[in-house]
Amino acid sequence: MPDKMKHIWSSDRNFNFEEIQDQRYYLVAEHNDLITKARHDLNARELKIMDYVVSKIKPDDEHFDTVETSMYELSSVLNIKRNGRTYSQLADSLNTMRKKDFFIYNEKEKSITMTGWFERAKLWENGQIELKINEDLAPYLLQLKGNYTQYFLDDTVKLKSKYSILLYKLIRESDKSRGSSITILNGSPEEFKTWLGAPQSYNYGRFKQNVLIPAIDEINLKIRDMDLELLQGYRGRKVVQVELHNNFIRNKKI
């Protein structure tokens, strides 16, 4: 990143007249394959940035419009401190997301799409930002008629860990009853490691201690309608099946 960008923009201000608080309750909608079959290494901040950009998409959009925002708006919506260091980090994140590899498997076509998140990112010294989502993501974000998941941007903004964010999305995707019954997410330890992008060197014990339990604890603490419980299936002493139950039920009768 050029040295000129490593300071707070002198005329930094909010260029959007929408209420910042209102934007946190925009809905993020994405195809389920983007949650369960995509493979990437975005960190927590980059995941939140992507959710923020996706929340700008309208249900009837037929193509990706250029998203116009600002450092002021982005840092405010994501609830991070506004200063020169943060702005420099946000600029670095946008540049990284433009270049980071993204893979998604299409089971029907038996194909893998290899692409990046943004087609381009443009920043001005006054803090303005223009972002254009890569067109390869259109089938997973535009004109969604079924097999998609939606959630409030505010939920992922609350979560600090990338593992918590990814697990949260998996639980939302598994909730076919929309909270009217217990939601169950199940898979093998290896599947959970892949879904959450955990280091492949982790055995299950280390994965559980360093990734899964902290993510469950953070979600239970911060997400109002989630009460996750971990269950494990054994073959001998080895864990071969992992189940997460969301025991929260809307309008539960006492």
Q: Which CATH number fits the domain that encloses residue 28?
A: 1.10.10.10
- Per-residue confidence at 8, pLDDT binned at 50, 70, 90? very low
Domain range for residue 196?
159-246
Give yes or no for a contact between 233 and 239, defined as CB atoms under 8 angstroms apart: yes
Beta strand pairing status for 183-187 and 238-246? antiparallel
Mean pLDDT of 138-160: 95
Mean pLDDT of 100-124: 89
Residues with Cβ < 8 Å from 239, sequence gap 6 or more? 189, 204, 232, 233
Same structural domain for residues 131 and 22?
yes
DSSP three-state, residue 48:
helix
| pLDDT at 146 > cutoff 90 | no
Q: Which segment of 4-8, 98-102, 169-173, 177-181 scores lowest on mean pLDDT?
A: 4-8
How many other C-beta atoms can be found within 10 angstroms of the C-beta atom of residue 61? 13
| pLDDT at 113 > cutoff 90 | no
Give percent of the chain with pLDDT exceeding 90.
Answer: 72
Give percent of the chain with pLDDT exceeding 70.
Answer: 91
Same structural domain for residues 166 and 136?
no
Give yes or no for a contact between 195 and 207, defined as CB atoms under 8 angstroms apart: no
Strand order through the sheet with 228-235: 183-187, 238-246, 228-235
Q: What's the domain count of the chain? A: 2
State residue 158 phi and psi, 5-degree precision.
-70, -30
Cα–Cα dist 163/142, whole Å: 26
Cα–Cα dist 151/28, whole Å: 5
Same structural domain for residues 26 and 105?
yes
DSSP-assigned beta bridge partners for residue 69: 129
Same structural domain for residues 16 and 137?
yes
